[in-house]
Amino acid sequence: MTRKLWFQVGIGILLALLITKYFLEIKSIFSPVAIIAKTIFIPLLLGAVLFYITEPLQRFLEKRKVPRWGSILAVLISVAALIWVFIAIVGPPVADQVEKLIKNTPTIAKEITHQTEYILQHREDFPPQVEDAIEKAINSVQSIAVVFGKLIVQFFQSVVQTAFTLVLVPFFFIFLLKDHEKFAPFIYQFFSGKKRVWVKKTLGDIDTVLRTYIQGQLLISFLLAVIMFIGYLIIGLDYALLLVIFAFFMNIIPFIGPWIAFTPALIIGFIQEPQLAIWVSVVTLIAQQTDSNVITPNVMGKTLDIHPLTVITVILAAGNIAGFIGILLAIPAYAVGKVIVRNIYEARRDIKNTATKTV
C-alpha cells in the first residue's frame, strides 16, 4: 500500500499540514526570518518581472556577439529611457486628470447617490420582475463595491509598503541579468541520475511557463489598453488616459481584471452622460472579443492551458488568503504547481512503462 500514489500524496498532505500547524504555533521564533523574507520577496519579484520583460533584448544582443556587460548596460539604458519617456509624455496629462478627478470627486459621489435614490424611490413603478432584478443588482453592486474597495485599499497599501523596498529592485534585476543561467545548475547539481534529468527538465519547464505568462500577459494588457484608449477617445470619455492606465494594471489579472477595470469607466461614462455608459460597454466588449479571439490565442497559445473556471476559482481563493498580492501571484503559482505535478506524473508513467516492458 505504501507504494500507491494516493497513499504517498495523502502522507505528504498530512505532513505539510502538521508542519504548517507547528510553524504557526512557534511563529514568534521565526518572525524575524519571515520579516526578512517578506522584505526581500517583493524586490526579487519585481526584479524577476523586469528580467523576463527585458530578457529577449539581452538574448538578441548576445546572439550578435555583444558581451554580457554590454547587453546588461544596453538593457539598463533602455529601461531608463522608457521610464523617462513615459514620465515626460504621459506624466503631465495623468497629473492633470488626477487633479481634475480629485476636484470632481464630490460631484461624482453626489451624482451616484442621486441616481441610486431615484431608482430606489421609483422601483415600485416597475413590474415585479424588474423590481426584483433591481434589488438583486443593487445588492450585487454593494457587494462588488465592498470587494472592490478592499482591493483598492490593499493595492495602495502594497504600493506604499513596496516603495520602501524599491531600492533593492535594481540589484536583483542586474544580478538576474548577469547570472540567470547559473540558477538551474546550482539546483540540479545536488541530484544525480534520473532525478537530475527530471529536476533539470522541470526547472526548464517552469522557466518557460513563467516567461510565457509574464511576457504574454503584459503584452496582452498593453494591447488591450491601446484598444480601449482609442475607443475612449472616439466616444469622448473623461479621464480616458487615467482609466486606461488603471485598466492596464488590472488586465494583468486574467478574466477578473477586465471587469474590475470596466467598473470605474462605466460609472464615469454614466455620470458624464448616460448614453456614454452604453458606448463604454461597446468599447469594452470590442476589446474583450479582440483579446479572446485574436490577441490571447496568438500571444499565449496553449502554454498555460488553464480552464477559465479554474482561473477564477484560484484568483478568488488567493485574494481571500493573501489580498491583492495573492491575486497577482495566483495564476503563475498555479501554473508552476501544474508543471511540477505533470512532470511527476510523466516520470511515474515512464517508470511503470519501463517496468511493464521489462516483465
> What pLDDT does 236 receive?
87
Q: Evaluate the CA torsion angle 84, 85, 88, 91 in order and state its sign.
A: negative
**Phi, psi angle pair for 69, to nearest 5°:** -65, -35
Q: Which amino acid is at 296?
A: T
> What pLDDT does 140 receive?
53
Is the pTM higher than 0.85? The answer reads no
b/e map 149-175, b = 16+ CB within 10 Å:
eebeebbeeeeeeeeebeebbeebbbe
> What pLDDT does 134 receive?
54
- Residue in the structure block whose three cell numbers are 505528504: 12
Q: How many CB atoms lie within 10 A of CB 200?
A: 15
**Phi, psi angle pair for 147, to nearest 5°:** -65, -45
Distance CA 121, CA 131 (A): 11
Average pLDDT for runs of 10 along the chain of length 359:
65 76 62 64 82 88 88 90 84 77 70 64 58 55 52 56 68 86 83 83 86 85 88 87 86 77 84 84 85 71 66 75 73 84 80 66
Distance CA 238, CA 109 (A): 16
Q: How many CB atoms lie within 10 A of CB 94?
A: 16
Q: Evaluate the CA torsion angle 43, 46, 48, 50 in order and state its sign.
A: negative
Distance CA 295, CA 225 (A): 12
In 3D space, the residue among 210, 276, 221, 274 whose CA is nearest the CA of residue 246 turns out to be: 221
- Cβ partners under 8 Å of residue 45, min gap 6: 329
Distance CA 325, CA 53 (A): 19
CA distances to 115, 174, 265 from 239, in Å: 21, 36, 9
